Every structure is written in C-alpha cells, then in structure tokens.
C-alpha cells in the first residue's frame, strides 16, 4: 500500500512515538510509506528511514500549508491518508479534496476535540464528513466518539496503541543500581518514576502532593520525574513548597525511557486526562507495577488489582495510599509487574496495532 501519515510534527511525545513505530512496522511489511509534518519535522524525525516532508505551517489558518500538503500528496500518489489528531486531520482533508485517495482515516490520540466551541473544533467536526474512518486509541474514547454521533458507528472503531515489545527488557537490579547511582541515592533506595511531558493534563502537582504523603511515611523512597516542558521551574518550586525537593529528581526530556523504566520500582501516573498512554504500555512491557488514575484508557491497560492499582484523578490521598500499598508489599508488586508484562506481550505489540490498521485501510477500499 502507498500510505502517507500526516502529523503536526515528530517531536518527542506519545503520539509521535506511536506514529514512528507504526511507520517502521508498515515498512517492514513491504508498504510504501512517507510522513508529512504540518509544522517542522521534529527531533524524532532522524529515527525514520522514510521520506519526511515539512509543510512549515505558519500562524493562523495557513492556506499555503494546505497547498504544500496537497502538492506532496499528488507527488507521492498517496492512496491512504492517515492523519493524527484534529489539526492534522482538517488540514489533510482540505488538502486532499478531489484527489484519488482510497482511504482517509483519522486517529484521535486523546479524549478531546469533540465538544468544544472553538473554530478549530468546528472545522474538525466538519472535516469528519470527508473521512472514511475515525479511530480512537481506547475503548473509553471510542464510546465518547459513538455517543457524539459525529460518525456512523460502523465507521468508528478502537485500535489500542502498540509498541515494539521485542525491544523492551524486563526490570532488573542492575538497571536499578545504575539509575540510583545517576541520581545520587543509595542502591537500596526505592524509586517511584513518573514519565510524561510537563503539561497540566499530567497533573504533576497532584503527584507531588501524593508523594509528600509517601515520603512522610517512608524515608527510603525518591521520586524521579522524566519529561520536558516549560513548567519545570514551577514544579521544582512546588516540590520545594511541599518540603520534598531533596527527595525528587527532575531529569528533563530523555531518549532512554525504556532503560529508565527498568530501574524504577513503581510507575505513578497522575493524569487528569489521557487517550491511551504509551508509557503505561511500555511500563507493562518491562514488568513494572503501576499506579494510575482512572481516566481515558488507563484502566484498559492497567487492570486494577491484577497488574497495578487504579485510583480516582485529582485525589492525592488515594494516589499516595496506592503507592504505599505496592511499595510496602514488593512480592505483590512483582506479581503485578509479571501480569502486566504478560498482557503487553499478547495485546500491546506494534504488530497487532499495524494489522488492525491494515484491515481498516482495506475495508475502506485501499489495496
């Protein structure tokens, strides 16, 4: 198949990581694949060995960017246009008007973009009229899409994100010791990890409040926060306000997340909203026990009481209690990690995700 993926950019993030892994798998299956970035190429672009085109969209509604995307689609002779999230989709649909594209598919990587009253939401909702299929990355998001009645139910489906499972090794004492040495703590110190961009949706203040309660009861635990963003100084100041600055390490944006996960004792996710969290699938793949909030598709990945614990969002007391429960019972935590890895091996692979997308492409008439 001749497939074009359209994204805003390939900077570091969960959506971008999914696209990169999907493109690699589609190339391995023999498809002809390229990527159009609506803005710049992005820092992860060098990881792909396929043609990547940056449309260099400017501010506001950029008709020039639409023309450039259209020219690229014509040049490549794209048969499948696979867009990711709202802006890439409505720019893609406008650019593709009148072109002989067999399948126009949009993947919504989050739970937003349906009920707002902004101009962007208005354009996105109408661009769905030109779409063959809309994919949500979790059953929860799919239910939201069906309830909106924006698309006939037969043209909406859920395809959970997958990762290259074979590249993820299990947690190990050696990885823990390396991470402990890097952050300057004793080897026996237990490490709670949090991975995600420093964005309000991830609710790091809730996580820091919860960790303060953990730190007050457990002197041998530290929190490692992995992720970049403009809020770092604000969150470091908030950790100091909570009296836990000495027990929290902010590592910034990292390219070795899968190795860092192997060194944690527990992953904590405090998000207020999620689509289908890639880091939860990655943590499951390395056998890491997880505490996560009940938002988006989190409970579809982390089975409460089986591979981790699910707590309400914006509830630091519940989050702290769940973290303590697993930190104080390492045997149970290890069993949960093993259950998560078994699930990831069977359900969380990029191969499974790619097969599901190929079926959608073919169902829309692509060949």
Residue 1: partners with Cβ closer than 8 Å, 6 or more residues away: 26, 31, 32, 79, 80, 358, 361, 366, 367
Question: Among 170, 162, 215, which Cα is nearest to 23's?
Answer: 162
Query: How high is the pLDDT of residue 203?
Result: 97
Is the pLDDT assigned to residue 290 strictly greater than 60? yes
Question: Among 302, 316, 335, which Cα is nearest to 214's?
Answer: 316
CB-based contact 144:111 (threshold 8 Å):
yes
Query: How high is the pLDDT of residue 164?
Result: 92
Q: In which band, very low, low, confident or very high, does the pLDDT at 131 lie, cut at 50, 70 and 90?
A: very high
Is the pLDDT assigned to residue 367 strictly greater than 60? no
Question: Among 268, 304, 124, which Cα is nearest to 190's?
Answer: 268
Query: How high is the pLDDT of residue 296?
Result: 87
Residue bearing tokens 């050696």: 174
Query: How high is the pLDDT of residue 114?
Result: 54
Helical H segments across 218-329, by residue range: 232-241, 257-263, 278-285, 298-301, 316-327
Chain centre distance of CA 345: 18
Going from N- to C-terminal start, the domains of the chain cover: 2-162+349-363, 165-347
Across the chain, which distance is largest between two alpha carbons, in Å? 64
Is the pLDDT assigned to residue 120 strictly greater than 90? no
Mean pLDDT over 23-41 rounds to 97
pTM for the predicted model, two decimal places:
0.80
Lowest pLDDT segment from 76-90, 141-155, 288-302:
141-155
| Fold category of 165-347 in CATH | Rossmann fold (3.40.50)
Q: What DSSP string describes 106-137?
A: EEE-SS-SSS--SHHHHHHHHHGGG-SEEEES
Chain centre distance of CA 101: 28
Share of the chain above pLDDT 90, in %: 82
Q: Which two tokens stand for residue 119?
A: 């101009």
Share of the chain above pLDDT 70, in %: 96
Query: How high is the pLDDT of residue 311?
Result: 98
DSSP helix/strand/coil, 235: helix
Angle, helices 278-285 vs 14-28, to 10°: value is 70
Domain 2-162+349-363 matches domain 165-347 at the CATH topology level: yes
Question: Among 289, 295, 299, 282, which Cα is nearest to 267's?
Answer: 289
Is the pLDDT assigned to residue 74 strictly greater than 80? yes
Q: In which band, very low, low, confident or very high, does the pLDDT at 286 lie, cut at 50, 70 and 90?
A: very high
Query: How high is the pLDDT of residue 112?
Result: 57
Cα angle 308, 140, 94 (rounded to 5 degrees) comes to 130
- β-partners of residue 224 are 193, 249
Q: What DSSP string describes 333-348?
A: HHHHHHHHHHHHHHH-
pLDDT, mean over the chain: 93
Query: How high is the pLDDT of residue 110?
Result: 79
Q: In which band, very low, low, confident or very high, does the pLDDT at 115 lie, cut at 50, 70 and 90?
A: low
Residue 158: partners with Cβ closer than 8 Å, 6 or more residues away: 135, 136, 137, 138, 139, 141, 142
Mean pLDDT highest for which of 105-109, 204-208, 229-233?
204-208
The domain covering 2-162+349-363 belongs, at the CATH homologous superfamily level, to Glycogen Phosphorylase B; (3.40.50.2000)
Is the pLDDT assigned to residue 309 strictly greater than 80? yes
Is the pLDDT assigned to residue 298 strictly greater than 70? yes
Q: What is the pLDDT of residues 228-283, one digit of tens each?
A: 999 999 999 999 999 999 999 999 999 899 999 999 999 999 999 888 898 999 99
Is the pLDDT assigned to residue 111 strictly greater than 70? no
Strand runs labelled E in the chain: 2-7, 32-37, 52-54, 80-84, 103-108, 133-136, 156-158, 190-195, 221-226, 248-252, 266-269, 290-293, 308-311
Q: What is the pLDDT of residues 155-201, one digit of tens each?
A: 889 999 999 998 899 999 999 999 999 999 999 999 999 999 999 99
C-alpha Rg value of the chain to the nearest Å: 21
Question: Among 119, 121, 73, 114, which Cα is nearest to 93's?
Answer: 73
For residue 225, the 8-state DSSP code is: E
């Amino acid at each position: 198949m001749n497939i074009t993926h359209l994204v805003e950019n390939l900077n570091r993030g969960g959506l971008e990581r999914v696209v990169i892994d999907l493109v690699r798998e589609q190339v391995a299956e023999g498809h002809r694949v390229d990527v159009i970035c609506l803005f710049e190429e992005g820092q992860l672009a060098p990881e792909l060995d396929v043609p990547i085109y940056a449309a260099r969209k400017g501010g506001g509604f950029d008709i020039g960017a639409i023309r450039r995307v259209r020219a690229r689609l014509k040049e490549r002779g794209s048969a499948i246009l696979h867009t990711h999230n709202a802006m890439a989709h409505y720019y893609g649909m406008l650019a593709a008007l009148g072109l002989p594209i067999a399948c126009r598919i949009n993947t919504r990587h989050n739970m937003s973009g349906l009920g707002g009253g902004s101009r962007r939401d208005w354009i996105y909702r109408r661009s769905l009229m030109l779409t063959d299929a809309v994919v949500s990355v979790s059953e929860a998001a799919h239910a939201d899409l069906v309830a909106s009645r924006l698309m006939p139910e037969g043209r909406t489906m859920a395809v959970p994100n997958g990762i290259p499972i074979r590249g993820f090794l299990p947690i190990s004492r050696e990885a823990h010791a390396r991470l402990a040495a890097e952050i300057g703590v004793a080897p026996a110190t237990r490490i709670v990890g949090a991975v995600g961009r420093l964005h309000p949706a991830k609710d790091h203040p809730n996580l820091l409040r919860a960790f303060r309660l953990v730190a007050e009861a457990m002197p041998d635990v530290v929190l490692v926060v992995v992720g970049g963003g403009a809020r770092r100084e604000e969150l470091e100041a908030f950790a100091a306000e909570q009296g836990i600055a000495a027990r929290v390490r902010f590592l910034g944006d990292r390219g070795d997340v899968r190795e860092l996960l192997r060194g944690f004792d527990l992953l904590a996710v405090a998000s207020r909203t999620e689509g289908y969290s890639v880091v939860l699938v990655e943590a499951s793949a390395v056998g890491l026990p997880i505490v996560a909030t009940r938002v988006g598709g989190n409970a579809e990945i982390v089975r409460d009481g089986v591979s981790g614990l699910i707590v309400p969002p914006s509830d630091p007391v519940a989050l702290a209690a769940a973290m303590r429960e697993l930190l104080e019972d390492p045997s149970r935590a290890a069993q949960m990690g093993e259950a998560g890895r078994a699930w990831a091996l069977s359900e969380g692979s990029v191969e499974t995700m790619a097969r599901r997308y190929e079926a959608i492409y073919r169902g829309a008439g692509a060949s």
